[in-house]
Amino acid sequence: MRDKGIFSIKRALPRMSWTPKNLYNLYLRTEGPRKTDITYKQFSNLTLFQQRWRSKAVVRAYHGDFIKEKVFKRWFLPETLPDVRPKRKVLLGDDKASLQEFALRKKKEKELAEEEAAKGMAPVGSLMFSEVERRIDIFLFRCCFVHSVYEARRLIIHGNVKLNGRKHQNANTRLAPGDMVSVDPNAIRFFKPPSGPNWYDVNNYVQHVKDADAKREKADAKRAKAEVKRAKETVSVDAAAPTPAEAAIINQALGKEEEAEPSTTEDNFKPQYNLTPFYLPHFASPWLFIPAYIEPNFATCSAIYVRHPTARPGYSEIPTPYDADGEVVRFAWEWYVKRRPRTRTKTQLARMPEDRALAQMESVDEGRRQLRKDMLLKSGRL
């Protein structure tokens, strides 16, 4: 975490975290008084540059704020950003329609909204963050294994995460479809007893532990009472000096009492239920969702990256606190369309973060070239 004031209420920038402060910032930006800062009117005092920059700032605060802007523009933007504006037919040399559109701006905006609704356009502007969603640290946050993306990075760097069965410590890796990510259960915070009051015992594990302790204390008291009774009976037997037949009857009765006493093994005092201890922080319900491109298994603390996220009319698979086809995402898209790097030199390609999908494509291409070479050798053409 590079910024100490990352959850500052004054700035009110939502992040990938479950903390109550972040939830309050999310409210301020989406429904509260700070919503007006990113609600742009037709006649605004802000210039187009200011609107784009402000939209870019709030969007990037949520989608990979820990990624440097230069690195984000060079490696975590798709090679081709899709056009988020509907296309119109323009007749060459006919400027009458253009002048009418310029004069009737309100009518133009209304017609634009109707045109988009009729075409059923997909919110493709949000797909510019598809490369960010492929990162292994953000993938862990989307799986609900951690309470923030910053904790996910810590688990990866400390070696508590496995990628396809092998320890993986690079948090910048972009996953390929079919990759399986596993987390050490001992490193997951939700399975450990909380230290503060701001947690909710989902499976009522603490109460079950208290009941088991009470059961153990009751059994210990009963056992101590039985030992005292047995000692008194032994003293009375020694004083009366019973006959051998009476001694056999007494020994038989004491044996039955020993069998009737409860067992004091630890297994009998463990909580009698099959639920895993799970401590959920308060105000976590807004973040408890799994995107469609992830297949998690909470029994094994693992998940599979099934495919790349996509979008269809009226729905985007990339979670975002803002409208996936709204003005904020569109202005951010316009910002990066004009300022993204155009070329990548060999030196820059050598510093590219690990991309498993690209590596798989290169291995497939190499296999195809080798197969073609073998076929040519076999046919005698080479």
pTM exceeds 0.95, yes or no: no
CA distances from 27 to 13, 128, 246, 328 (A): 10, 24, 83, 16
Q: What mean pLDDT is predicted for residues 22-35?
A: 91
CA distances from 284 to 18, 119, 146, 328 (A): 6, 37, 11, 25
* Lowest-confidence region among 124-128, 153-157, 340-344, 366-370: 340-344
State residue 146's pLDDT score. 93
pLDDT tens column, 100-128:
655 665 566 677 667 766 666 778 888 88
Three-class secondary structure of residue 174 per DSSP: strand
pLDDT tens column, 204-225:
666 666 777 778 788 888 888 8
The residue written with tokens 């491109």 in the block is: 293
pLDDT tens column, 85-100:
555 444 445 556 565 6
Q: Which residues is 162 bridged to in the sheet?
A: 167, 182
∠ CA(370), CA(375), CA(376), 5° rounding?
Answer: 100
Q: What mean pLDDT is predicted for residues 347-367?
A: 77
CA distances from 38 to 30, 140, 150, 179 (A): 9, 29, 26, 37
First to last CA, the chain: 57
pLDDT tens column, 296-353:
998 899 999 999 999 888 889 999 999 888 889 989 988 988 877 666 677 777 777 8
Q: How far is it, in rounded angstroms, from Cα 218 to Cα 211? A: 11
CA distances from 209 to 16, 197, 272 (A): 33, 18, 9
What are 324's two structure tokens?
């996936």
Count Cβ atoms below 10 Å from residue 33 Cβ, excluding itself.
Answer: 10
Residue 271 has pLDDT above 80, yes or no: no
State residue 170's pLDDT score. 94
Region for residue 166 given its phi and psi (left: phi exceeds 0; alpha: psi -120 to 50; beta: otherwise): beta
Residue 38 has pLDDT above 50, yes or no: yes
Which positions ≥6 away from 341 have C-beta within 8 Å? Answer: 73, 74
* Lowest-confidence region among 180-194, 256-270, 288-302: 256-270
Q: Where are the alpha helices (DSSP H) in the chain?
A: 20-30, 48-62, 69-75, 96-103, 105-119, 130-133, 136-142, 149-157, 205-240, 244-260, 327-339, 346-350, 356-379
Three-class secondary structure of residue 317 per DSSP: coil
* Lowest-confidence region among 54-63, 272-281, 309-318: 272-281
* Lowest-confidence region among 60-69, 238-247, 347-356: 238-247
Q: What mean pLDDT is predicted for residues 23-36?
A: 91
CA distances from 135 to 174, 179, 320, 337 (A): 4, 12, 16, 22
Q: Amino acid identity of 71?
A: V
DSSP state string for 216-227: HHHHHHHHHHHH
In percent, how much of the chain has pLDDT > 70?
72
Q: How far is it, in rounded angstroms, from Cα 93 to Cα 30? A: 44
Residue 82 has pLDDT above 90, yes or no: no
Count Cβ atoms below 10 Å from residue 28 Cβ, excluding itself.
Answer: 18
∠ CA(61), CA(288), CA(356), 5° rounding?
Answer: 65
Q: What mean pLDDT is predicted for residues 50-67?
A: 92
State residue 370's pLDDT score. 81
Count Cβ atoms below 10 Å from residue 10 Cβ, excluding itself.
Answer: 8
Q: What mean pLDDT is predicted for residues 277-301?
A: 88
Q: How far is it, in rounded angstroms, from Cα 93 to Cα 40? A: 33
State residue 90's pLDDT score. 46
367 and 184 Cβ atoms separated by less than 8 Å: no
